[in-house]
């Protein structure tokens, strides 16, 4: 039987002919090689004029995209709600985990992220495809997170980029979601009202833009763009993705909970429509607006609380 011996100076015994190790000098192994690689010089540029100038240039490059994104978010209450939920939940998770201590350090991952973002901006200009600028902005956001919090936030920064990318998707796709969501919410709301014994009609009126009208008895309701549930759908989706990043559960459980979170968002909006229609006769014309706001806010909060409980109550989130 042959057995591998460590490298060193060896001698043979004339009497037995066996190899005897006289002195072991330095052993080489895969672990030693990996340890040497880990000790290789790293890019480590802390704060200072160089860092300030580089991030200043980055801000100038992405300022048009950031200004457009801020303008769209502030103009649309549903997007503002989704962004606020994303930020608030992110702060809660960071504080729960003890937070991240800022390190303000350039590492290889930061450099790669910035180079990728600059390359995507150049490609967007060359191809005249503005959507690539949003992808570049995601890469820059990830690089900024790694610069501020260092390698400890490596996993968190990846999920932040995914959540921010999903938010950008909602910003771009919002006009396309409006009418399908209105139709879905109106039909499901009318079906539930009929199950509760109400006489309901649902039809479209052109004036000149199409409007979805719901008639229950002698009362007429319009399923407006603000009632399509896009804000609750986007908020629950962003919250679910953020909690999925903080979860250590199996991937299939996270996928299942993500789908359930989206369903909770849709159901919350349908419940809002049904409850408002049911309480409209009790509130009357004088108090209808106040009732509408109270019920709408309560349904949003309950739906988001249900999404939070779904992740927090059914599995440990760290």
pLDDT at 274: 93
**Any bridge partners for residue 12, and if so which?**
19
Let me know: does 104 contact 149? Beta carbons within 8 Å: no
Q: 310 is written with which tokens?
A: 């779904």
Q: How far apart are CA 299 and CA 142, in angstroms?
A: 33
pTM of the model: 0.76
pLDDT at 31: 43
Q: How far apart are CA 189 and CA 274, in angstroms?
A: 6
Sheet strands (E) in 50-186:
none
pLDDT at 69: 93
> Any idea what DSSP says for residue 315?
S
Q: Which one, of 305, 300, 266, lies nearest residue 182 by Cα? A: 266
| DSSP reduced 3-state for 28 | coil
Q: Which one, of 137, 23, 90, lies nearest residue 238 by Cα? A: 90
Sheet strands (E) in the chain:
9-12, 19-23, 200-206, 210-216, 219-223
Q: How far apart are CA 302 and CA 295, in angstroms?
A: 10
Write b or e for each residue in 206-242: b if 16 or more Cβ atoms lie within 10 A of its Cβ, otherwise e: eeeeeebebebeeeebebebebbbbbbbbbbbbbbbb
Question: From first to last of its 318 residues, what are the pLDDT tens digits of the chain?
Answer: 433 333 333 343 333 333 333 333 344 343 443 444 444 344 444 557 778 888 999 999 999 999 999 999 998 888 888 888 878 877 776 666 555 677 788 888 888 999 999 999 999 999 999 899 999 999 999 999 888 887 777 777 888 889 999 999 999 999 899 899 999 999 999 999 999 988 899 988 887 788 899 999 888 898 888 888 899 999 999 999 989 988 888 889 999 999 999 999 999 999 999 999 999 888 888 888 999 999 999 999 999 999 999 988 754 444
Q: Which one, of 23, 29, 1, lies nearest residue 10 by Cα? A: 23
pLDDT at 100: 63
Q: How far apart are CA 176 and CA 236, in angstroms?
A: 19
Q: Which one, of 231, 247, 229, 228, lies nearest residue 310 by Cα? A: 247
**Distance, CA of 87 to chain centre:** 10
């Amino acid at each position: 039987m042959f057995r591998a011996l460590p490298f060193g100076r060896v001698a043979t015994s004339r009497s037995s002919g066996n190899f005897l190790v006289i002195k072991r000098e330095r052993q080489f192994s895969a672990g030693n090689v990996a340890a040497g690689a880990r000790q290789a010089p790293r890019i480590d540029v802390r704060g200072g004029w160089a860092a300030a100038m580089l991030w200043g240039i980055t801000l100038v490059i992405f300022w048009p995209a950031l200004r457009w994104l801020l303008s769209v978010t502030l103009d649309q209450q549903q997007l503002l709600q989704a962004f606020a939920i994303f930020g608030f939940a992110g702060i809660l998770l960071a504080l729960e985990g003890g937070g991240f201590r800022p390190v303000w350090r350039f590492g290889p991952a930061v450099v790669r992220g910035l180079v990728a973002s600059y390359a995507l901006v150049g490609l967007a200009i060359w191809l005249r495809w503005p959507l690539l600028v949003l992808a570049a902005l995601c890469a820059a956001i990830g690089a900024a997170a790694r610069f501020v919090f260092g390698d400890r936030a490596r996993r968190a920064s990846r999920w932040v980029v995914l959540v921010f990318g999903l938010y950008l998707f909602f910003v771009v796709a919002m006009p396309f979601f409006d009418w399908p969501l209105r139709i879905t919410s109106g039909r499901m709301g009318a079906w539930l009202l009929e199950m509760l014994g109400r006489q309901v009609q649902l039809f479209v009126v052109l004036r000149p833009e199409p409007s979805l009208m719901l008639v229950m008895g002698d009362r007429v309701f319009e399923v407006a763009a603000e009632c399509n549930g896009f804000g609750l759908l986007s908020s629950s989706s962003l919250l679910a993705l953020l909690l999925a990043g903080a979860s250590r559960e199996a991937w299939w459980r996270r996928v299942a909970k993500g789908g359930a979170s989206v369903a909770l968002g849709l159901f919350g909006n349908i419940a809002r429509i049904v409850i408002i229609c049911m309480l409209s006769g009790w509130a009357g014309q004088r108090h209808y607006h106040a009732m509408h706001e109270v019920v709408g806010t309560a349904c949003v909060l309950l739906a988001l609380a249900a999404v939070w409980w779904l992740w927090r109550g059914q599995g440990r989130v760290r």
